[in-house]
Structure 1
Amino acid sequence: MDVIEQALDSQSAWVGLLVLIGLFVLFISEKLPPVIIAVIGAAAMLILGYLPREDMEQVFANPAPITIAAMFVLSGALIRTGVVEALASAAERRAEGRPTRSIGEVLGGAFFASSIVNNTPVVIVLVPIMRRIAAVAGTTAQRLLIPLSYLSIMGGTLTLIGTSTNLLVDGVAQRAGQPAFGIFELTAVGLVAASAGMILMLLTGWFLLPKRSKEDMDPRPVEERFLSELAIDEYHPDLGKFYAETGEFARSGIRPIALKRGGELIRHGIDRLLVEVGDRLVLAADEAELLSLEETYGLGVGVANRPLPPAETDRIVTASIAPTHPAIGRNLSQIPFLTRTNARVLGLMRSRHMPGPTLGEIKLRAADNLLIKGGPACIAAIEANVNLIAIEEAEVRPYRRLRAPIAVGTMLSIVTLAALGVWTIELLAIVGVAVVLATRCIDPEEAWKAIDGNVIVLIFGMLGVGVGLQKAGTVDLIVEAVLPFLTSASPLLLLILIYALTSVLTELVTNNAVAVIMTPIVLTLAEQLGIDPRPLLFTVMFAASASFATPIGYQTNTIVYAAGGYRFADFLKIGLPMNIVVGLVTCWAIDRMV
């Protein structure tokens, strides 16, 4: 046993290198989720004795994961209050008149939004918008979704808070005694790099982006929405206005379909009609918008035979029609549980098809999905109904639009105060979380769900691996091996070599893991060469974020990879030139500006 311990101590640098190589092999093989691999790496360092308890405790004191978690919550508050959706709705409305110009506006909006908001939810929200704009513009979404991901990635490099990678490199560097980065310290270089990427996409996108026809794409529908109805009563706030001026016509998550006035069903020109008492607006809405309508208009949404006034004990559930349901083929308004209970059907969704003509007149089919609201006894009866299946509590929440100014003001205050150096970004982010929670911009359970736990645990795990590699001497071993090749290199060539290594690793391994490994390496390298480490840290930040060549190198690439029905080669074809051009321009900009 003593012999093994002595070997581990005397050859610690090489043992650490073997652990590092093993982790990279596991990352590349993708046989385990990245978060599990990171935890395995940290555990290995603990078992080998390269990560003492006091150092492991310091890992959890790193400000980067705390700041990243706080930014997840703040991004969730912007989504919960409808801020992101409102911006997307504005872009979609403009697309109807000038689709080509609107494409540029949405892509530009994604670019700048990603500099202050986590780019993953931005892309998730904008994917269906881009697909609808593509249909209006007469093109395919495949021509637009890769640029959407790339611009969101480049937007994230503009500020310290734009991507978790920047915050992570900053946190590791601060622990090593380096001064903190300013929130806009990266902006000048980021704009130059992004400009190069945009120019390349404009010049080569026509040739390098996929040109497959719409028939070759994923046949799934652009959206899944519930058909519902909104009854206009004497309390409706928009009485006397044109329907085009109402909120139901202004939001991307709602699509008016028809207007039932008297015995007539009007399908065209609804926006030019005045809002009148007794109208029933037939609309298609996503779940969040439908619940927002229900919260605003109450009993006026959906259909019911004998609804009761809303109560705090009411619940909202989703349920599917079983193949054995006796009401299949009959109108929704005739479904038995509506007759027996006080249930109210808020909407009905049918896969790959919008039913109609109105909610109550829908002929039921097996697998139709209902959104139902009712009291405890009503929901209990629904849950006991053998003809209804897949009954679940609705997880989507209505937007809290009245609190949107608070969420926006909080985010802007954080950015402004951090830029002025009033307080550190991690402390401002924590205070910001307290504000959005205290003002109920977002509920606690939603806030914790907004935090990507896999990302946070992966970061903690890799921070532990990074500390272990330094304690084992592996970082010094790597630096000593490459130092002879870099001693005579010019500053620009040194940046290019570091960028190339970081970029290649990022395409194969998760970007946060690469950032944790490369940061102590470049810090030690700068110390050995006797140069300022700041340009090298800049290089790691940009190279670990600007991942274009594969759909697995960055989260937003993975999102559009699935949504656009892409092939792996589609990313390689345009992403490889993007990696090279953006990388060279970034290194040149860092060499000149930092």
Structure 2
Amino acid sequence: MHFMSALLGVYRAEIGLIILALMFVEFVRERYSPTVVSVLGACAYAALGLLDEKGLFSVFSNSAPLTIGAMFVLAGALIRTGTINRAADFVMKRAEKHPRLAIVEVMLGATVASAFLNNTPVVVVLIPIIFKLSQVTGVPLKKLMMPLSIVAVLGGCITLIGTSTNLIVAGIAADQGMTPFGIFDIAPFGIAGTVAGLAALVGLSFLLPSDPPAISGQDGGNAQDYLTELVVPHDSEYIGREIGSLTLFGRSAALLGLKRAGEIRRGDLSQEELHAGDRLIVRADGTAIMTLRESGHFELGIAADSETSGREGTVIEAMVAPSHPSIGERLMDIPFLHALRVRIIGINRARHLPGPNLAEARIRGADRLLIAGSDDAMRSLRDNPNLMGVDISRTRAFRRNKAWIAILAMAMVIALSALGIMGIGLAAIIAVGAILATRCIDAEEAWGAIDGDVLVLIFAMLAVGVALEQAGSVTMMVGWITPLMQVAPPWALIFIVYFAALILSELLSNNAVAALMTPIVIALAHQLQVDARPLVIALMIGASACFATPIGYQTNALVYAAGDYRFADFVRIGVPLNIIVGLAVCGALVLLG
């Protein structure tokens, strides 16, 4: 014990860097989610005494995570009141009259929306619209889906609230004594990158793939269709009847197969007589599924316990997060199905109907699940960090009469912050209070709109940053880098910081990289006696504007699954985009910063 204390006393900085290196290894290996790795890293620093109790709990006074949480709630209110839905309807009407122009309008709209809303929910909402635009215009889906993510990321770099990464960097910088950032302080540089990125996207569009996505099953359906199963009960009145005599199937529901005794049959099944226990594999839209559920003629979906009925309780919709640990595994093996008394009654994958049946479907990020269960089970699912959008169901009635309140609340946050009347964090929290008081969104829905996984990751990485400072690791790293940087002109530092953040963020969590690099960059600026602000802005945008890998940013992961892209598709167009946007942003920082 004495030896360990002596070792920690002499080599605190080195041990701090070793823990950091081990975290990076685990980030890359992806055996655990970035959030788990970050929490374990913070715990390791605290256990070894490299992070004291005061330093650990000081991270909870940082305004950035609370601001991010408040913005999640405000975005949830815009969805709940139907504001975003109405915008989507408007787009589709435009697409019917001016298909090609509608594509431009959607992309520009996504860019602007992502500047004022977190860009991840913007992409989630627009994915189905992109499918429809592809169908209406005849433009290959893969030439539209990836650009959606790209323009959303570019738009998020224009304002302080466009991405959680911007808010994290701004929060840490304020804690380090820098002048707080205003909502539009990064706008000139973000706009420069956005203009260059949009121009490059148009010029490089020939690099986008045009092959159609692979579709499982014999009928791909459309973006709103679910794969489900109808189980014939032992007391069903349909036993002995031919499938062709049923009036269940039509435009909104189509029979894909029959599973009997472990064997799946395809083709013409109209002459097949139904047996007890048969499973009809069906493609259906949400309305058809709910109608079949209420009819009581069949048991829907799959459950770990055969006694769990899908006709009881409520039905919620949830999206599988790109970081879900069960990605690639069978739907039957998803953990919550065995931990809770629920039934999965449908799975939706944009234009990629899973298969061969519901239980054997392999899980992908952005899959949408319809889940039936008790209120207690639903509360547990809302707390599941690996599910997004839980309890925000498309089948629920919008509170359209409250839409003006939600819009006004978001507008006031932007205006108060931009005019310097009130900090963005305080304005956002007051706005949350206003939309809760006016019931734009219920409390449970509001908390469900918050991505807890993101907040825990931010707090954990803030703790890691404090630990590195307390251990002296930051000072040591700056000491190593300073001699190399002293010979570089000040403008070169901007390029070095930007592309270092970009490369790391293509491989690791954007938020983790931002939280880790911010104190290092500020300390380096002080050591070199240069203005830290341009370097911090370069870090902000560099950590977000990642296009070369599907794991570079969360929106990339969403369209990667929805558009059925290959990894190389992102590399092909993402690398030149990274370079062009980076040069534009850094050039603007050198000239205007």
Q: For this structure pair, what is the TM-score category when the shorter chain's length is used for normalisation? A: 0.7 to 0.9
Paired with 1:382 and 1:552, the residues of 2 have a C-alpha distance of 38
Paired with 2:147 and 2:133, the residues of 1 have a C-alpha distance of 14
Structure 2 residue 568 is the aligned partner of structure 1 residue 586: no
By how many angstroms is 1:212 displaced? 1.4
- Counterparts in 2 of 1:374 and 1:214: CA distance versus 1, 3 Å: closer
Counterparts in 2 of 1:259-298, with a 5 A limit? Answer: none
Residue of structure 2 equivalent to 1:19:
19
Gaps of 5+ in 2: 258-273, 283-287, 317-392
- Counterparts in 2 of 1:9 and 1:122: CA distance versus 1, 3 Å: same
Residue of structure 1 equivalent to 2:418:
419
Paired with 2:247 and 2:109, the residues of 1 have a C-alpha distance of 46
Paired with 1:102 and 1:189, the residues of 2 have a C-alpha distance of 27
Counterparts in 2 of 1:529-568, with a 5 A limit? Answer: 529-568=528-567
Does the Cα contact within 8 Å between 1:165 and 1:511 map onto a contact in 2? yes
Paired with 2:443 and 2:292, the residues of 1 have a C-alpha distance of 23
Paired with 1:17 and 1:127, the residues of 2 have a C-alpha distance of 41
Paired with 2:449 and 2:308, the residues of 1 have a C-alpha distance of 35
Structure 2 residue 95 is the aligned partner of structure 1 residue 103: no
Q: For residue 526 of structure 2, what is the amino acid of its counterpart?
A: E
Residue of structure 1 equivalent to 2:8:
8
Structure 2 residue 190 is the aligned partner of structure 1 residue 185: no
Paired with 1:516 and 1:319, the residues of 2 have a C-alpha distance of 42
Residue of structure 2 equivalent to 1:92:
92
Paired with 1:87 and 1:97, the residues of 2 have a C-alpha distance of 16
Does the Cα contact within 8 Å between 2:131 and 2:223 map onto a contact in 1? no
By how many angstroms is 1:213 displaced? 3.7
By how many angstroms is 1:220 displaced? 4.2
- Counterparts in 2 of 1:352 and 1:116: CA distance versus 1, 3 Å: farther
By how many angstroms is 1:221 displaced? 3.4
Partner deviation per Cα, 1:493-516 (whole Å, 9 max, x = no partner) = 111111111111101100000001
Give the SS at the match of 1:371: helix
By how many angstroms is 1:155 displaced? 0.3
Partner deviation per Cα, 1:26-64 (whole Å, 9 max, x = no partner) = 001111111101100110111111211111111111100
Does the Cα contact within 8 Å between 2:299 and 2:311 map onto a contact in 1? no
Does the Cα contact within 8 Å between 1:224 and 1:349 map onto a contact in 2? no
- Counterparts in 2 of 1:351 and 1:152: CA distance versus 1, 3 Å: farther
Choose 397-406 or 23-32, whichever is displaced more: 397-406
Residue of structure 1 equivalent to 2:388:
none
Paired with 1:220 and 1:366, the residues of 2 have a C-alpha distance of 17
Residue of structure 1 equivalent to 2:77:
77
Counterparts in 2 of 1:367-406, with a 5 A limit? Answer: 367=281, 370-371=289-290, 389=310, 393-395=314-316, 396=393, 397-406=396-405
Residue of structure 1 equivalent to 2:195:
195
By how many angstroms is 1:438 displaced? 1.0
Paired with 2:30 and 2:110, the residues of 1 have a C-alpha distance of 30
Paired with 1:424 and 1:391, the residues of 2 have a C-alpha distance of 46
Paired with 1:497 and 1:194, the residues of 2 have a C-alpha distance of 20
- Counterparts in 2 of 1:425 and 1:331: CA distance versus 1, 3 Å: farther
Give the SS at the match of 2:439: coil
Residue of structure 2 equivalent to 1:517:
516
By how many angstroms is 1:386 displaced? 7.8
Residue of structure 2 equivalent to 1:366:
280
Give the SS at the match of 2:290: strand
Q: For residue 153 of structure 1, what is the amino acid of its counterpart?
A: V
Paired with 1:15 and 1:221, the residues of 2 have a C-alpha distance of 55
Residue of structure 1 equivalent to 2:164:
164
Paired with 2:161 and 2:225, the residues of 1 have a C-alpha distance of 34
By how many angstroms is 1:225 displaced? 5.0
Paired with 1:564 and 1:425, the residues of 2 have a C-alpha distance of 35
Paired with 2:51 and 2:426, the residues of 1 have a C-alpha distance of 28
Residue of structure 2 equivalent to 1:497:
496
Counterparts in 2 of 1:306-385, with a 5 A limit? Answer: 321-324=230-233, 325-327=236-238, 366-367=280-281, 370-371=289-290
Q: For residue 199 of structure 2, what is the amino acid of its counterpart?
A: I
Residue of structure 1 equivalent to 2:132:
132
By how many angstroms is 1:581 displaced? 1.1
Does the Cα contact within 8 Å between 1:322 and 1:387 map onto a contact in 2? no
Paired with 1:71 and 1:555, the residues of 2 have a C-alpha distance of 17
Choose 103-112 or 393-402, whichever is displaced more: 393-402
Residue of structure 2 equivalent to 1:61:
61
Does the Cα contact within 8 Å between 2:293 and 2:311 map onto a contact in 1? no
Partner deviation per Cα, 1:335-389 (whole Å, 9 max, x = no partner) = 9xxxxxxxxxxx9755789xxxxxxxxx9983556315999xx99x999998975
- Counterparts in 2 of 1:98 and 1:217: CA distance versus 1, 3 Å: farther
Partner deviation per Cα, 1:95-135 (whole Å, 9 max, x = no partner) = 11221110000000000000111111110111111111011
Give the SS at the match of 2:21: helix
Give the SS at the match of 1:434: helix
Partner deviation per Cα, 1:146-196 (whole Å, 9 max, x = no partner) = 110010001001111111001000111111111110101111111111111
Residue of structure 2 equivalent to 1:447:
446
Give the SS at the match of 1:366: strand
By how many angstroms is 1:211 displaced? 2.2
In percent, how many aligned pairs have the same letter? 41
Q: For residue 237 of structure 2, what is the amino acid of its counterpart?
A: P
By how many angstroms is 1:323 displaced? 3.1
Partner deviation per Cα, 1:273-306 (whole Å, 9 max, x = no partner) = xxxxxxxxxxxxxxxxxxxxxxxxxxxxxxxxxx
- Counterparts in 2 of 1:22 and 1:221: CA distance versus 1, 3 Å: farther
By how many angstroms is 1:88 displaced? 1.2
Q: For residue 561 of structure 2, what is the amino acid of its counterpart?
A: A
Residue of structure 1 equivalent to 2:357:
none
Paired with 2:521 and 2:280, the residues of 1 have a C-alpha distance of 60
- Counterparts in 2 of 1:321 and 1:567: CA distance versus 1, 3 Å: same
Q: For residue 121 of structure 1, what is the amino acid of its counterpart?
A: P
Structure 2 residue 455 is the aligned partner of structure 1 residue 456: yes
Paired with 1:332 and 1:114, the residues of 2 have a C-alpha distance of 50
Does the Cα contact within 8 Å between 1:220 and 1:352 map onto a contact in 2? no
Paired with 1:352 and 1:74, the residues of 2 have a C-alpha distance of 41
Give the SS at the match of 1:85: helix
Paired with 1:522 and 1:75, the residues of 2 have a C-alpha distance of 31
Does the Cα contact within 8 Å between 2:73 and 2:450 map onto a contact in 1? yes
Structure index of larger Rg: 1
Paired with 2:28 and 2:413, the residues of 1 have a C-alpha distance of 37
Does the Cα contact within 8 Å between 2:550 and 2:570 map onto a contact in 1? yes
- Counterparts in 2 of 1:155 and 1:333: CA distance versus 1, 3 Å: same
Paired with 1:389 and 1:165, the residues of 2 have a C-alpha distance of 40
Does the Cα contact within 8 Å between 2:293 and 2:310 map onto a contact in 1? no
Paired with 1:332 and 1:407, the residues of 2 have a C-alpha distance of 49
Give the SS at the match of 2:116: coil
Residue of structure 2 equivalent to 1:154:
154
Give the SS at the match of 2:174: helix
Partner deviation per Cα, 1:303-345 (whole Å, 9 max, x = no partner) = xxxxxxxxxxxxxxx996313443376899999xxxxxxxxxx
- Counterparts in 2 of 1:41 and 1:214: CA distance versus 1, 3 Å: closer
Give the SS at the match of 2:289: strand
Q: For residue 172 of structure 2, what is the amino acid of its counterpart?
A: V
Counterparts in 2 of 1:222-237, with a 5 A limit? Answer: 222-225=222-225
Does the Cα contact within 8 Å between 1:511 and 1:545 map onto a contact in 2? yes
Partner deviation per Cα, 1:235-288 (whole Å, 9 max, x = no partner) = xxxxxxxxxxxxxxxxxxxxxxxxxxxxxxxxxxxxxxxxxxxxxxxxxxxxxx
Paired with 2:424 and 2:310, the residues of 1 have a C-alpha distance of 48
